[in-house]
A and B are shown apart, each in its own frame.
Chain A
């Protein structure tokens, strides 16, 4: 049986866990981020992060450095660090955007993070110690609409961004000031900041709702509003495999092994897919209604136990105000 918890009559927009899964950060389409202490099925609210003035759209909790980054429709992002007394202090981020921030993600080494926004741009942010704030560089071209989702390649350099112009793109987010020159990858060799490494389309319309690099960074998966799930391997970028499903669109996806991924969204139930290089097939559906009684749109899927290469448990939150932790082998 999956573990569930009902947070009340709220819609949960996104969630993020700390490194050992003893704490959870939630945003419920308000300007406040709630922090919960978790032990088993017991969730206890311990803190609130309240600096934003409009809806919080993205939360990411860095596992190694235990910092939380949040972004919001108020066009701001904050990096939160925990003080000795347990409270949280925020640091300003200079995003320089004139539209809502939509999503945020720490890089694997946690020295940078990226923020997508309605300003048709990705802000790649890094720390400026002389001013004690985070500054950003913009990736703008050739993004033609709101950036809806982001994911980092494990090499800390490449960044995938999905957009409502129906495309998923891979950019270089190499910031000269903070890191060594990157070595070549199968996505390409030349990586000046903002360089477009790949521009990918599933062929149809439909906003891209989520992008995800596989654990080794060779494959990129993305889901779109045309109910499709697409995967491409960087070794053959022209060979995009798209599975046009018969369900309502997926909103979030994550790799759970080198060839399997979980996607969930408007169809209300998470599904496990397998990619064999040539096609994608549905392995199983996790029966939300039967197992949890939940029956609403799933807004976010994240790994709970394990890694992208080998995930044992994943968690979903949805508009029914419920979090569910699923065993990957559950029926």
Chain B
């Protein structure tokens, strides 16, 4: 019997690394840099919230590995989402297509990861409306997609 049976060091080895058939995420060529920040802020300042929402949900930085870009986009989206009044959310959601609702849902779940007192009720309000528009399918796509915002 080996003396080292209690040794757990081997568990730290990433065995998948040595499997050449292991799953690798698809590499996409066009690294999207995210929405145009200055345009979004211009819309916000002019109180065109719906335009800002539509713009901030186009071109999400899904493919990039740079966490800083993703964080920056998330902050921008949160800024847009917080500038809505609850009564205006429904009409804003109606202007979004299915793909944008899926993207919005991804940001909402990203927000759920780091809850704060201020954002929780707001995100839940958006979530309720996004589910009403996109159905359970859009939640499924957040859960299954490996490309995160």
Known: A246-B137, A247-B137, A248-B137. A205 touches B144 (CB 8 A): yes
CB-CB < 8 A to B138: which residues of A?
Answer: 246
Instruction: Kindly supply a per-residue 1/0 record for chain B positions 122-145, scoring 1 wherever the CB is within 8 Å of any chain A CB and 0 otherwise.
Output: 000000000000111110110011
Rounded to whole angstroms, the CA-CA distance of A227 and B147 in the bound complex is 16
Residue B23 interfacial (CB < 8 Å): yes
Rounded to whole angstroms, the CA-CA distance of A15 and B135 in the bound complex is 30
Rounded to whole angstroms, the CA-CA distance of A68 and B24 in the bound complex is 37
Partner of B141 from the list A141, A143, A165, A227 (CB cut-off 8 Å) is: A227
Please report the total number of B residues contacting A with Cβ < 8 Å.
Answer: 19
Rounded to whole angstroms, the CA-CA distance of A228 and B145 in the bound complex is 12
Flag if B21 contacts A226 (CB, 8 Å).
Answer: no
Please report the total number of A residues contacting B with Cβ < 8 Å.
Answer: 23
Residue A270 interfacial (CB < 8 Å): no
Known: A246-B134, A246-B135, A247-B135. A206 touches B140 (CB 8 A): yes
Which of A143, A145, A206 neighbours the largest number of chain B CB atoms within 10 Å of its CB? A206
Rounded to whole angstroms, the CA-CA distance of A120 and B135 in the bound complex is 33
Instruction: Kindly supply a per-residue 1/0 record for chain A positions 218-247, scoring 1 wherever the CB is within 8 Å of any chain B CB and 0 otherwise.
Output: 000000111110000000000000001111
Distance to closest chain B CB from A167 (angstroms): 9
> Please, could you name 19 A-B residue pairs with CB atoms under 8 Å apart, sorted by A?
A144-B22, A144-B24, A145-B23, A165-B23, A201-B26, A204-B144, A206-B141, A206-B145, A224-B144, A226-B144, A226-B145, A227-B137, A227-B141, A244-B98, A244-B137, A245-B135, A247-B135, A248-B136, A248-B140
List 20 other contacts, CB 8 Å, given A244-B137, A246-B136, A248-B140: A140-B21, A144-B21, A145-B23, A204-B144, A204-B145, A205-B145, A205-B146, A205-B147, A206-B141, A225-B140, A225-B144, A226-B144, A228-B137, A228-B141, A244-B102, A246-B135, A247-B136, A247-B137, A248-B136, A248-B137
